[in-house]
Every structure is written in structure tokens, then in C-alpha cells.
Amino acid sequence: MGGSSGRIRRFLRTGTLRFRSPGPQLPDLPRNEPYISDIARSIVSSLRESIRQNKLASSLALVAFLIVLPLTFGSRYDERPRYRQVIIPDIERFEERYRGAIERAETAPTDIWRLYHFLDAHRSAVETLKHVRSKRTVTPEGTRAHAALIRYYELVDQHFAILRTQMSVDEEIDFLERWRDITRDIQPIHDRWASWLKE
């Protein structure tokens, strides 16, 4: 009995030690997501390979960059020729509609026709504003000048709305005379844009 109990104790001790001993190491699992360093190495490697295979194209691109860079920073681009050719014709067409409606209101034979042409002028001014807002400039000077034109037509639209509200309250108001005063007050804003074009 004593001998068998000793064997049992030895077995338990040995089994426990086997159980507690570290097992074989598991292999490293592949990473699901690459590290940033791996991505950077891949990009650099791709660029190096691309440059190696396209030496002529890479050389020409570098030469072009070195030539264009000083020209870009050394000279100031004047966008007015492009602006006059591409943007001005449409703006002039919209402005002509607006001014034509105002002139027709001034010369209309009856109050009804004067009112009709005045409201038509407001509609034309809103269309002009939408068109001017849709155009983009590239230089700081052009952006400031174009912003002045946008501001002018924003004020035109706002003053039309205010005057129309006043006309709905006072039917005897001389809206054309009021409009002449408003136009005279805001004309310098339009002139800032026009003077940039003439410089």
C-alpha cells in the first residue's frame, strides 16, 4: 500500500509538472493590416522603380518643374485678358437686360407698364447676380474686383425687395425716382469692378 501510494504521488507530481510545462510555441499569425512604415516603404519602392524605368520622362518632368517654378513666383499673372474674353460677354448680356428693363420702365406710357418693366428689371438683376456668382477668378486682384460686382448686384436685389415692400404699402410712391437715388449711391461699387477691367 505504501509503495503504491508512493507511485501515485510520483505520477501526480510528474503529470502536474508535464501539465505546467510550456508547450510548443505557436507560429506568428500574419498581420491583417500593414503598418505605416510598410506602406511608406512600398510607395518609395514604387517611385524608385518608376523613375528607373522612365528615366527620360522623369528627367523632362524635373526640368519642366525647375523652369516653371521661377516663372510662377517671379511674374504676376494678369487674368484680365481671359476674363474679358470668357466672362465679360455673358455678364454684359445680363446687364443689358437689366438696364434695358429699367429704361423701358422710365419711358413706359402708363403706370401699369412702368410697374411691369420695373419688376422685370428686378428679375433680370437676380439672374445677373446668379450668373456673376457662378464665375470664378484666380488672382487676388481679380477676386476682389469680381467680389465688388457680386456685392453690387446683392445690394440691387436687396434694395429692389425693400422698395417693393414700400410700394405695397404706399401706392403713390415714385419708385423710379427712389431707384435713381439708390443706383447713384451704390454705383461706386460697380465702378470698382469696371476700373479693374480698364487698368
Q: Encode pLDDT of 173-191 as tens digits.
A: 999 999 999 999 999 999 9
Give the separation between CA 152 and CA 185, rounded to whole angstroms.
Answer: 11
Give the separation between CA 21 and CA 15, rounded to whole angstroms.
Answer: 10
DSSP, collapsed to helix, strand or coil, labels residue 78 as coil
133: its cell numbers: 456668382
The confidence band for 18, taking pLDDT boundaries of 50, 70 and 90, is very low
Q: Encode pLDDT of 78-110 as tens digits.
A: 899 999 999 999 999 999 999 999 999 999 999
Q: Encode pLDDT of 143-167 as tens digits.
A: 999 999 999 999 999 999 999 999 9
Containing 176, the helix (H) or strand (E) segment is helix 175-198
